[in-house]
Amino acid sequence: MFDTGQMLQASALPDLPDLPDLLESVGVATLTGGLNGVGPDDAVAPIPPVLAPLFPGGGLRRGSTITVSGSSSLVLALVAEVSRAPGWCAEVGSPLLGSAAAAEAGVALERFVRVERPGEQWATVTASLLEAFDLVVVHPPARASQGDMRRLTARARERSAVLLVTAAWEGAQINLAVTRQRWQGLGAGHGYLRAREVEVRAMGRGAAARPHAANLLLPGIDGTAVARGVASKSAV
């Protein structure tokens, strides 16, 4: 509940005349806090097993909003697992994730729909897609308003879809970031890129507030996310 108070001060007070938005922001904060704790287990979208330690309860809750920064491969690994379920995934905005890399990561391309240039309509398009798709990846424009963010987060929760954003986003439950990376396979003038060791760090709210980290190969030699000793620590 302290969380709710903070939300009010931080975001809603500056645009005080906008009462519906203000109320919505209170609703968002309280409801998501509740959803993180309880809820039936079938409301979890599949994720690659190596990433499980990063998510509270070991899974990605349907209806949640997460951000991924600094790594398209990480986005693809999450998309691939949902699409293999088999689920439907969509992507809005540019630049599009690399399609060849997507195929290598195991994404079913026929069930991965891309809207590269939504223009001014990006929020409307995303809202429409959240109605039907299991996971929607959004590259929001820099001018995305807080109202749009709140509305889309609420829509995702209402439709039990996962909203995955590749930029900063207010109201996201989990923020994933690649904090360390090292490519293997390249020498001084010879070799090819083969696999990448990464450390992925998760920060979040509520049950996800404690930071977690996982070390893995992303992509591994076959293009997918592979384990490489998983660590979970509470230090920053």
Partner 1 sequence: MTGNKTVAKKAVRTLAVWCPDWPVIAAGGNAESPGAVVRAGRIFACSAAARLEGVRRGQRRREAASRCPELTVYPDDSSRDARVFEPVAESVEALVPGIEIVRPGLVVVAARGAARYYKGELPLLAKVSTTVADETGHDVQLGLADGIFAAIRAAHHAQVVPPGESANFLAPQPISVLDRPELTDLLIRLGVRTLGDFALLPRADVLARFGPDAAYAHDLAHGFEARPPSARSAPPDLVAEMTLDPPIDRVDTATFVAKTLAEQLHERLSTRGLACIRISIEARTESGEQLVRSWRHGGISTAGFSASAIADRTRWQLDGWLSGSIRSHDGRPTGGMVLLRLVPDDVVPDHGRQLSLWGSDSSGVDDIERVERALARVQGLLGPDAVATAVVGGGRDVTERVRLVPWGEPRETLPGDSCPWPGTLPSPSPATVFPASRPALVTACDGSLVEVSDRLGVTAEPRWLRVEGNSAVEIVGWAGPWPVDVRWWDSRAACRCARFQVTTSDGAGWLLSFDSGRWSVEACYD
Q: Give me the residues that bind partner 1 (CB under 8 A), please.
A: 70-73, 75-76, 86, 88, 94-104, 109-119, 121, 124-125, 128-129, 131-133, 178, 180-183, 186-196, 219, 222-223
Minimum separation from the CB atom of position 123 to partner 1 (A): 11
Identity of the residue numbered 122: W
Nearer to partner 1, 17 or 119 (CB): 119
Pull the structure tokens for residue 8: 């009010």
Nearer to partner 1, 4 or 72 (CB): 72
Specify whether the CB–CB gap between 26 and 8 falls below 8 A: yes
Q: What is the 3-state secondary structure (H, E, C) of 31-50?
A: HHHHHHHCCCHHHEECCCHH
Question: What gap in Å lies between CA 96 and CA 162, rounded to an integer?
Answer: 18
Minimum separation from the CB atom of position 45 to partner 1 (A): 14
| CB atoms closer than 10 angstroms to residue 23 | 11
Minimum separation from the CB atom of position 128 to partner 1 (A): 5
Nearer to partner 1, 21 or 91 (CB): 91
Nearer to partner 1, 19 or 183 (CB): 183
Minimum separation from the CB atom of position 134 to partner 1 (A): 9
Question: What gap in Å lies between CA 198 and CA 228, rounded to an integer?
Answer: 9
Nearer to partner 1, 115 or 176 (CB): 115
Q: What is the 3-state secondary structure (H, E, C) of 61-88?
A: ECCCEEEEECCHHHHHHHHHHHHCCCCC
Minimum separation from the CB atom of position 23 to partner 1 (A): 28
